[in-house]
């Protein structure tokens, strides 16, 4: 939950499809932040879980994920 994968894939999206900005941090930082009451219920906080290469279909998970 709340894991995102980075990719070099590109899409064109209408600006109206953007609902809000979010914050993406490393897994360790994410775990530290979510232990804090200030960030526990945030719906806009994500961590970087790895990378995806759309040309090869290869998914590489980050250490500790």
Residue-level pLDDT, tens digit, the chain, 65 residues: 899 999 999 999 999 999 989 999 999 999 999 998 887 778 899 999 999 999 999 999 988 77
Question: Which long-range CB contacts under 8 A does 51-59 form with residues at least 24 apart?
Answer: 51/5, 51/6, 51/7, 52/5, 52/6, 52/7, 52/9, 53/7, 53/8, 54/7, 54/8, 54/9, 59/5
pTM of this prediction?
0.77
């Amino acid at each position: 939950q709340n894991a995102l994968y980075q990719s070099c894939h590109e899409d064109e999206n209408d600006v109206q499809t953007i609902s809000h900005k979010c914050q993406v941090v490393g897994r360790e930082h994410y775990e530290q932040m979510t232990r804090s009451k200030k960030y526990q219920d945030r719906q806009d906080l994500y961590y970087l879980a790895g990378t995806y290469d759309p040309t090869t279909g290869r998914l590489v998970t980050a250490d500790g994920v």
